[in-house]
Amino acid sequence: MIEQLLILVKPDGIKKSLTGNILTKLSEARMFIIGAKAVKVDKKLAEEHYYQLKDKPFFDELVDYIQGKIYGEPWDRVLAFVYQGENAILRMRQIAGATNPEEADPVSIRGAYGRITTKGVYENVVHCSSSKLEAEREIKLWFKPEEIVNPIYSVKKVTIEKEERIIWA
């Protein structure tokens, strides 16, 4: 089954200059990148992304982590990718490795590069959608339809009047 999923290079991946290594590892699965961008994550996006974990004791630290708060400028950003391919979710999660970097396969991205902070947050370098439903929710949260090269979900046309937009001067 052809699937899509959201992959993020988290701020620790940016700080440790791991983007190239991560993309090389992911390329072993021979999938296609159909969307890509750099994102400065605001609190709202961070909280929506991790809404299922809002009752966890580490939620506030997790929201700070995905925003790159502990690293600050210029590392307080993520790289967001939409990948597409056969059984993409399971296969990419295998390459990413288990959530806890200490339990992850040492050859996986998280096993090789992740760490647990003194506050107990798993800094595991990448985010990887975990199900088809979650992938759709996350892709729609992070990307606009026109930012993805293949039409993957149904869209509709709306007319928005008096909308302010930033354009090149």
Cite the active site residues. 127
Interface residues for ligand UDP in 28-87 (CB under 6 A)?
53, 58, 62
What's the DSSP call for residue 75? Answer: S
Q: How far is the CB of 165 from ligand UDP (least distance, A)?
A: 33
Q: Which is nearer to Mg ion, 21 or 130 (CB)?
A: 130
142 binds, among Mg ion, ligand UDP, none (CB under 5 to 8 A by kind): none
CB of residue 53 to ligand UDP, shortest distance in Å: 6
Token pair belonging to 86: 């056969």
Spatial CA neighbour of 143 closest among 32, 38, 17: 38
How far apart, in whole angstroms, are the C-alpha atoms of residue 79 and residue 108?
19
| Residue for token pair 């090389």 | 24
Nearest to 96 by CA among 18, 6, 31, 25: 25
Residue with tokens 């990887």: 128
Q: Is 99 in the site for ligand UDP (CB under 6 A)?
A: yes
130 binding Mg ion? (CB under 5 A)? yes
Residue (94 or 99) nearer to ligand UDP, CB: 99
Q: Which does 155 bind (CB under 5 to 8 A by kind): Mg ion, ligand UDP, none?
A: none
